[in-house]
Structure 1
Amino acid sequence: MSKTTKRSLLYALGLLVLIAFAMWLRYASRYYFHSPAVGYLRSAIYLFLFGVWCYSLWARIVQVQVRHYMLAISALMVLWILLRSIKFSIDNTDVERLLWYFYYFPMLFIPMLSVFVSQSLGKGEDFRLPRWTKLLYLPTLLLLLLVLTNDLHQQVFSFPSGILSDQEYRYEVGFFFVLGWEALCAGFAFLSMVKNCRIPHSRRIRWLPLVPFALSLAYAYMYAKNVYWVWVLAGDITVSQCLIFASIFECCIHKAD
């Protein structure tokens, strides 16, 4: 086993240990430790992990365009976790709601930037994205604006009780436009990345990125169904989805031409 392989395995083991520790902290905070410090420590672990991942992307990816968009995606994941951490550390309904709306900045732009990554994988240094990809900014920005101005029209979330809070709300038609756009971009990006993965000898490995993608769908279903053990160990959907999407990107980066 080469030194590079051993080092990669050690890094992966350290990553898994930190994630397992953070999951345990979530469990412990529910039953043993009720101090806010536990939540801060768990958030700090994830911010550290994604910060390190961001640096590793900068160090590992040679193709300038792929590196540019991957760094943007990793920075958005850090921002998403930071917004979530701040939201749960304050006690102000209006600020909490605004932070909740701002979740949709990374939620909308990560799938869109994933399309850009999928079109850039395996290309040469002089490659430039097709012009049609620039058009993706328009619906993404319009949908973000729709969410951020929800208090004025309540076409994304409505509040039956009359209290503008994320504790009790109902999805409206605008939310499904947002969700549909996210799913469309993510699905297109995923299929394109799989297509650009090089595994000439094994179709099984070629579809390796499908594993974290399937886990993402399974997790979303169990989260929506309020499966108890999922709520206890991995009830933070922000962190869980960021970890799964990072896994998909890593599978594709390692297999890219």
Structure 2
Amino acid sequence: MENSDEKTFKRRVLIGCTSAGILLVAGIICLQFFLNAEPPKPSVLSFGAFSTIGIMILLAPLIAAWGFYARVRCSDGTIKRNLQIIAALLIFWLFVVIIKYPTNNDIIVSLLWYCFYIPMTFIPSLCLFSAARAATLDKRKYASLIKRIILIVDTVLVVIVITNNFHHAVFVFDFSDPRWNRDYHYNIGYYIQVSWSLLQYLAFFALLFPAAQKQKRSAFIPVFILLCLGLAYCLLYALRHVSTIGTNISLVYTLLVLISLELLLDFKILPSYSWYGEVFSKLPFDIKLFNSNHSIVYETNCAAPLSASVLSSLSTISPKKDETVSFHTSTDPSMLFKAYSVTGGGTVLLSEEISAINEQRKILNEHQEELRKQNTLLRHNHEVAAYLYQLESEQALFQEIEQTLESKVHRIRSLLKTLPKENDTESLEKRRENLMKVKLLVAYCKRKGSLVLTQKSDPDLDRNRVQLVFNETAADLRSLGIDCAALIETSTRLPVQTVSVLYDCLYDFAASAFASVDPILMLFVRNADEGVELRAQLQAKKINTYDPNIDPVTNLSNNLRKRTKNFSINESKDCLTLSAIIKDGEI
């Protein structure tokens, strides 16, 4: 294998020689155009069509051999197929040239002349497709559509050239003129044809530049110089300059294309290897192929020697078909070895450097451990915050219930003090009414007091427990002569604070119902956004207060205003309605 210094030296020699040739050609052109120097007149050696037939005959099998060699050395199937088609088109072109000039029939000569433009049209497109493949642009979203459009344009241009005898849109001449094949003129179709080919060649080299960036950029210079030479020659030929009009454009075009493609293959701008064996040896992986005796048969150029422990471990491994066996050794902790089975016997060993992966794994483990500690700390903080919130909720509930019970007990004492002691009918009725009020207040105090104990054991109540409490309260009210019904439709457990608000609403409505005539009380509780919705309605012939000093509607509004912002109370002579949404976060 050549080392990098030898490759650099050869490349510099090639670039220097090519640059010197360019300078020589440029000097000759300057002498021709600016100093009015006489062009050299060849006396024996000529580059016309007749004088180069022997060269074309010898070149045809060489092109065929190059096509086969390109097929062998190119590692990409698409580019390989394009190169073979280019070789076939070049051979076709030389064959057409060889049979064109001895032919005397003007129609056949013109058709053979038009056939020149079949390879001249499709070869730039095939080069462009190969460049797109080498630059990995053929898998883009619109690559297939663009390829079809290019082929359609090529086909249309070739059809226009082939049918030139009918419309003369490409070449203008008259068959009646004996020198029609020399005294012709270009039409608009010719300039479109040349511009299209020039555009494709420019795109070909423009697309190759990304692929050339992966190699050393100096490798692209000789190919670019050949492009400039080819463009200058084609331009002078199209202008029918005296220095190019007598040359064989088919031969020059063929040589330029072959040399350019060969340089692209040699410099690895197009994927290329001297033989199939190089494909394996130049793989950028540490791969070794062992036979059944565990001896190395093939290995890549970058394969490193194996230690005795790796060979010993490999001798004990027998991977099955489509199975991968990975292992480490203590002597090579930074390497990961993967063994694969080979059809026909043998083992493939892939060695991967994983020191960077191990370092990353170590860093990730440290981060994971740190995150685990932070997660534990956050969980502990959350538990503490939840416990403190529960304590605050219990304290707030206790204070609220304590204040409520204090006011209710004061009310019970005032009712007991005002019990009439007489035994007449009016006094007995008044005494019975006050005792019923006391019973209602005692039941309320019992329900509210039980919430403190419930908060300690279970801070949330399910639907059945809430329905049971409301049913017991409705039964107490019915025993006092108030028709009452309560319905609970909740699918989630209710916090104690929410149940406390529901109790207050229930007993405030009960207080209003107690002082009303023929009251009917209905309550309905259901789920709402982030809480529950309470709907209550009291219907009676006449709604009164049971104490002239207390307005139950005002008392209910004040209590709800402390606990929620979303409620409404509507009052009339015979109906009192309440609609409230009690959210957990508002209590």
Q: Say whether the fold is shared (TM-score over 0.5).
A: yes
Counterpart Cα distance in 2 of 1:92 and 1:171: 22
Residue 468 of structure 2 aligns with which residue? none
Report how far residue 84 of structure 1 moved. 0.9
Q: Is this contact kept in 2: 1:77–1:106, CA < 8 A? A: yes
Shift in CA distance, 161/44, structure 1 to aligned 2, threshold 3 Å = closer
Counterpart Cα distance in 2 of 1:247 and 1:194: 18
Residue 244 of structure 1 aligns with which residue? 256
Shift in CA distance, 27/39, structure 1 to aligned 2, threshold 3 Å = farther
Q: Is this contact kept in 2: 1:115–1:188, CA < 8 A? A: yes
Query: What one-letter code is carried by the residue in structure 1 that aligns with 2:117?
Result: Y
Q: Is this contact kept in 2: 1:80–1:103, CA < 8 A? A: yes
Deviations 1:159-195 (A, max 9, x none): 1574494232111111111111111111111221233
TM-score, structure 2 length as denominator? 0.35
Shift in CA distance, 187/153, structure 1 to aligned 2, threshold 3 Å = same
1:186 to 201, 211, 220: 201
Counterpart Cα distance in 1 of 2:172 and 2:223: 36
Deviations 1:99-127 (A, max 9, x none): 00111111100111111111111549x96
Report how far residue 74 of structure 1 moved. 1.3
Counterpart Cα distance in 2 of 1:91 and 1:58: 39
Counterpart Cα distance in 2 of 1:179 and 1:58: 29
Q: Aligned-pair RMSD on alpha carbons?
A: 3.1
Q: Is this contact kept in 2: 1:199–1:205, CA < 8 A? A: no
Counterpart Cα distance in 2 of 1:163 and 1:72: 37
Shift in CA distance, 115/221, structure 1 to aligned 2, threshold 3 Å = closer
More helix, by proportion: 1
Structure 2 runs not aligned, ≥5 long: 11-41, 272-587
Shift in CA distance, 40/217, structure 1 to aligned 2, threshold 3 Å = closer
Identity of aligned residues (%): 22
Q: Deviation above 6 Å: which 4+ runs of structure 1? A: none
Aligned pairs for 1:36-75 (under 5 A) are 39-75=52-88
Whether 1:82 and 2:98 are equivalent positions in the alignment is no
Q: Is this contact kept in 1: 2:106–2:175, CA < 8 A? A: no
Residue 219 of structure 2 aligns with which residue? 205
Counterpart Cα distance in 2 of 1:57 and 1:209: 17
Counterpart Cα distance in 2 of 1:184 and 1:150: 23
Aligned pairs for 1:72-221 (under 5 A) are 72-121=85-134, 123=136, 130-131=143-144, 132-159=146-173, 162-163=176-177, 165-198=180-213, 200=215, 202-221=216-235
Structure 1 runs not aligned, ≥5 long: 10-25
Counterpart Cα distance in 1 of 2:160 and 2:132: 28
Counterpart Cα distance in 2 of 1:155 and 1:231: 21
CA radius of gyration, larger in: 2
Report how far residue 52 of structure 1 moved. 1.6
Which of 1 and 2 has higher RCO (CA within 8 Å, sep 6+)? Answer: 1
Deviations 1:217-257 (A, max 9, x none): 23335554222xx678xx21111111112222222223326
Report how far residue 139 of structure 1 moved. 1.0
The 3-state SS of whatever aligns with 1:251 is helix
* More displaced stretch, 80-89 vs 99-108: 80-89
Q: Is this contact kept in 1: 2:135–2:210, CA < 8 A? A: no
Residue 524 of structure 2 aligns with which residue? none
Counterpart Cα distance in 2 of 1:238 and 1:27: 22
The 3-state SS of whatever aligns with 2:260 is helix
Report how far residue 199 of structure 1 moved. 5.4
Counterpart Cα distance in 1 of 2:230 and 2:101: 24
Shift in CA distance, 210/110, structure 1 to aligned 2, threshold 3 Å = same
Deviations 1:5-44 (A, max 9, x none): 9xxx9xxxxxxxxxxxxxxxx974659xxxx7x6542221
